[in-house]
Structure 1
Amino acid sequence: MKRLLLLAFIPSIIYCSNGTTIFDFLNIPCGARPTAVGGGFSAFGDPHSIFYNPAGICNITTTTFSSTLRHYIAGINSGIILWEKPDFNGVIGIAINYVNLGSIEGRDVDDNLNGSFTPVSLSTKFAYARHIGSFKGGLSVNLIYENIDKYSAFAPAVDIGIIYTPPTVPHIDLGLSLNNLGYEIIPFRDTRENLPYKIKAGLAYQPLPPYIFSLDIERQINGGQDFILGAEIPLSPNFFFRAGYSSRWQDLAVDVSTDVTAGLSFGIGVVRNRLKIDYTASPMVDLGIAHQISISFLN
């Protein structure tokens, strides 16, 4: 029964969405490192930038494979896999993002049991990025699919992004991205809905590399605006502590005076030769804690 209720409120539960859009699963943070620093990530260079600002994959210097398992609230499990490689005078990448809620009871209008179904959400990204002077530019094409019982929806979309490193200002990167620009070709029913378009701007500051502090501002199609703060601090050359805050999760706070963890995230990262392991925990107040673990291999 809990899963049945979750299905009805997926947009608000997984992302505190207050507008009418489709494919809200695209707003679930992807990757343990980005999630740990709040989920902004518009000015970072990282394999998982393919989900935030495709220009960020320009930093990839060797073939990279990464897999992430997300254990979400109420037992919802999902994950991502990605592959990226320097090629064609830049970097190419492919990434898959999936959510599977498991088997859910079907009910008719009289609340009689009517079989079961398994909702599935899936997106596949194809990305390319390259350096252009002091700029990095990136573009990704996203094929998005959702199925709920007998109904399915499909839409293509694109993400466009740039990252600028000012030559006269050391240790600062400025990022700008437009995400989920697309059109629902196959709607669930007769009415087409908007994709969760958003525009993000941010900066990443390294006062003493590899220390990183970040600030992002994100505006969504439904009018919501959020700010995101993040920090990554090396405790040793191979061990990192991360923390972040996102105002988007404040809607989860029932009592703002006591629910002080709403919007916070914490994580660690370990690097060992060509292996990277990252973990993040995101408290979601009364809904529990969302976990992510990412394992990356560098060839």
Structure 2
Amino acid sequence: MIKNIFKISILVCLITAGNLFSAGTTGFNFLKIGVGARPVGMGGAFAGLSDDINSIYWNPAGLAQLKNREMTAAYLSWLEGINSQYLAYAGPLKDNKGVIGVSINSLTSGAINKYDISGTLNGSTSAGAMAIGVTYAKGELMKGSKNLSGGITIKMVQETLADKSISVPVVDLGLLSKKAFSNNKMSLGVNIQNLGSGVKYINEVDPLPQNIKVGIGYKTNEKTMVCVDYNVPNDNAGYINAGVEYKLNEMINLRAGYKTGTDIDMGVRAGFGIFKNNVGIDYAYAGYGDLGITHRVSLNYMLGIVEKEKSNVKKVKKVKAKKEEVKQTEIKTETKKVEDNSEKIDKLCKKAELYYTRGKMKESLEVLQEVLKIDSTNKRARDLFIKISMQKK
């Protein structure tokens, strides 16, 4: 019974005005739970990087960077048997008209036993939440600023507790500059999350968990990306997310990060990603103090990248075949040239040898050079040439 009471307490904090993570009071607090194992593994610092489909949550402007269609499915094993599922798809529109994405984020508790005031089991109930969103992002927002992109996500958010439910529209806005500074290694992003009217629970109205994210991404070298986000929530003091991603090789990425603040979910984050051809899997670990550990797994799929790689492979093979053909033609030409001049080469070699026996080194070298112009691999001429050169030293 205690376990069920604890589970209900967590859900009430997420779904009603009570805020599990802060001293303030906001509604729809499940929107604070970050999605995607890659960003979470980097400590939740992603607003200034946002270079994949996870941008839908962390900074919708980053979706403009997508060159291929992408899909992701993520699963979060949260606290006390509460789970979260996330599904998203995004792809570029034709004629460089931007990138569009759709996403579904849900939180489920499963069956929760109900007890009356005396502690007697009185059936079961359930609780959950869902956000369905559409995202649009566009690069080159202004003329002459092709590194500046913008994005917007419009979500319909619903929460359910027992037989009660409530729905409200929510908006996220983002900006991203990929080369914000002169060194071209640093990017800057801003994301305003969860704009909208308040949430009315019976007679009370609570605000949405709005947050302003300002993030920086810095590429220290070809293998390492460092990110830092500063958050300004409307229900608590500001806090920092910091993280790093290291490319171990072409297939494996390692990640680590840290979240500051006074919430119970502050602390170390870690994870890794494995990507091969067009399929990737990401994992992230995050601790919640005495409440336990959470695990996130994301499965990512890039549509179209395989065809592109196959096309590139065909082009490379074609270039290699052409180079080999040219090489073989040159060898045949050289061989024929040697064969046609074999008698001439023999006479020149004898002439060079005669000069050498008579001590006329200069004249011998001149004749040998003539031989090597015809056949650069002629062993007879090369040996004598080296012998004379060594003697001159």
Task: Report the structure, 1 or 2, having the larger helix content.
Answer: 2
- 1-side partners of 2:217 and 2:181: how far apart? 15
Q: 1:201 to 1:167 in 2, by over 3 A?
A: closer
Among 214, 218, 227, the alignment partner of 1:214 is 227
- For residue 207 of structure 1, report the CA deviation from its aligned partner: 1.5
Bigger shift: 39-48 or 119-128? 39-48
1:76-225 counterparts in 2 under 5 A?
76-87=82-93, 89-109=97-117, 111-132=119-140, 133=145, 134-164=147-177, 165-166=179-180, 168-184=182-198, 187-225=200-238
Tell whether the 8 Å contact from 1:14 to 1:25 is kept in structure 2 after alignment: no
Q: 1:29 to 1:114 in 2, by over 3 A?
A: same
Task: Report the structure, 1 or 2, having the larger strand content.
Answer: 1
Is 1:24 the counterpart of 2:29? The answer is: yes
Tell whether the 8 Å contact from 2:137 to 2:152 is kept in structure 1 after alignment: yes
Segments of structure 1 that go 5 or more residues without pairing to the other structure are 254-261
Larger radius of gyration: 2
- For residue 109 of structure 1, report the CA deviation from its aligned partner: 5.0
Q: Deviations over 1:238-272 (max 9, x none)?
A: 10100010014x5439xxxxxxxx51111000110
- 2-side partners of 1:224 and 1:144: how far apart? 25
- For residue 231 of structure 1, report the CA deviation from its aligned partner: 0.1
| Counterpart residue number, 1:5 | 6
- 2-side partners of 1:214 and 1:167: how far apart? 15
State the identity as a percent. Answer: 29
- 2-side partners of 1:38 and 1:93: how far apart? 24
Aligned length: 289
| Counterpart residue number, 1:33 | 38
Tell whether the 8 Å contact from 1:152 to 1:188 is kept in structure 2 after alignment: no
Tell whether the 8 Å contact from 2:55 to 2:63 is kept in structure 1 after alignment: yes
- For residue 111 of structure 1, report the CA deviation from its aligned partner: 4.7
Instruction: Give, as a single letter, the amino acid of the residue that structure 2 aligns with 1:23.
Output: F
4+ residue stretches of structure 1 with deviation over 6 A? Answer: none
Instruction: Give, as a single letter, the amino acid of the residue that structure 2 aligns with 1:264.
Output: V
What is the TM-score with the length of structure 1 in the denominator? 0.91
- 1-side partners of 2:117 and 2:52: how far apart? 48
- For residue 188 of structure 1, report the CA deviation from its aligned partner: 3.2
Segments of structure 2 that go 5 or more residues without pairing to the other structure are 304-393
Q: 1:167 to 1:19 in 2, by over 3 A?
A: closer
| Counterpart residue number, 2:294 | 290
Instruction: Give, as a single letter, the amino acid of the residue that structure 1 aligns with 2:44.
Output: G
CA RMSD after TM alignment: 2.0
- For residue 14 of structure 1, report the CA deviation from its aligned partner: 8.8
- For residue 43 of structure 1, report the CA deviation from its aligned partner: 1.1
